[in-house]
Amino acid sequence: MLTPRVWWLAVTPVDLRCGADRLLVTVRQALGREPLDGSAYVFRNRAATRIKVLWVDAQGVWLAARRLHEGRFVWPHAGDAVWMLSPEQFAWLCAGVDWRRLSRRGAGLGRHV
């Protein structure tokens, strides 16, 4: 069961053909975060029609993929490396809804470089 405390969106698109090991390296090097911190990391393709979620728990690594049949995932346009979302905002994102407009907190929990 996926139960991370925080969901981090990697703003820059990645090649989703890569697997968990390459995404773990991306979290460390490109995002400057530690993948073992209990957070989930969400990556998207260039067209914003597919995402991959990477999460490390005490037993191993989770890697999940989601594809929209229509439309695109709503993604930040800022120059930051990652954005932090609450679990509720992540659920809206997965449903293809603009999580930035539905959030009472504004455009997310906050930007993080």
| d(C-alpha 66, C-alpha 70), whole Å | 12
Angle, alpha carbons 21-27-29 (nearest 5°): 100
| d(C-alpha 83, C-alpha 63), whole Å | 19
Q: Mean pLDDT lowest for which of 10-19, 58-67, 74-83, 98-107? A: 98-107
pTM: 0.85
Compute the mean pLDDT over every residue in the chain, rounded to the nearest whole number.
86
Token pair listed for 33: 């975060």
- Residue 105 Cα to chain centre, angstroms: 18
100 band by pLDDT with thresholds 50, 70 and 90: confident
